[in-house]
Amino acid sequence: MTGFGRAEGLVGGKKVTVELRSLNSKQLDLLVKLPGVWREKEAEVRQWAAERVSRGKAELAVGIDGVKALKRSAINPELVHAYYDELRAVARQVAPEAGTDLLGLVLRMPDVMTNAREEFDPAEWRSVEALLEQAGNAFEAFRAAEGAKLQAELEVRTGNIRQLLDEVAAMDGARIERTRGRLLAKLQELQAKVDHDRLEQELVFYLEKLDVAEEKLRLATHCNYFLETMDQGVQQGRKLGFIAQEMGREINTLGSKSNDADMQKRVVLMKDELEKIKEQVLNVL
């Protein structure tokens, strides 16, 4: 399920922004981006985000944009003095009259310019954790709103299948009688001599193959179970997918047994509704 949460605030004179977002995916694929000063907390943050996201292609990004940068250039004065004294001593021995810019050479020597990093501050990190919670709460609220819309959509689609199934059930009795009448009319047209007892027996066997009572009952049961499962809490996505597969099997069997144009039209409509259900179930956790 898609989700998005954002929070921002001032932490130690810096503007810190936290964003948590996710897209649909069968497994958890989590990317965590933290500034270097808080990198030691990556494992802790990753576990926290994994529990929040649960499943999906997700990204948690913590960014800094503020007055006080995390990195700044720094000069090592002791090393500058050491390099300069050594170079000046060599210059006096080799070419005392030469006008060499020793300081310029020193500033290009290794390790003279360094990047100074801020030290980890537990007090600042507590403020960052508060922002993480805010972003996580916004993320969950976003998902809850999306989930409510998704549930309403699935309920409508399932209700449409139940309505079509009721229409199929209403047609079923007349379908059997029409099939029986067509077979008898064909025999009369052919003027075939038949044993009436044997004919009745064969008709019973044939019409039993067209009976869809079990399929109607199982499909109705699956529809009810699908709706009940949606109300059972989180982490029901895969279960709903399995139920939808079972609904598809019963609908396909109905289509193969219907032997009636009007019933088959309803079956096609049921298949269309089921495909829409399967598409939306992929978004359910």
Element (H, E) at 7: strand 3-11
Arithmetic mean of pLDDT, 13-26: 88
Instruction: Classify residue 118 by its DSSP letter.
Output: P
pLDDT of residue 248: 93
Q: What angle do CA 183, 188, 193 make, to 5 degrees?
A: 105
For the stretch 51-88, pLDDT in tens is 888 888 999 999 988 544 444 557 778 888 888 888 78
Arithmetic mean of pLDDT, 279-283: 86
pLDDT of residue 119: 72
For the stretch 157-201, pLDDT in tens is 999 999 999 988 887 766 666 666 666 666 666 666 665 666 566
DSSP string covering 219-282: HHHHHHHHHHHHTS-SS-HHHHHHHHHHHHHHHHHHHHHH--HHHHHHHHHHHHHHHHHHHHHT
Counting every residue, how long is the chain?
285
For the stretch 133-154, pLDDT in tens is 999 999 999 988 988 898 999 9
Arithmetic mean of pLDDT over the chain: 82
For the stretch 106-131, pLDDT in tens is 777 777 776 555 677 888 899 999 99
Break the chain into its structural domains and give their ranges.
Answer: 3-68+124-142, 71-117, 146-281
* CATH entry, 3-68+124-142, from 3.40.462, 3.30.230, 1.10.1060, 1.10.238: 3.30.230
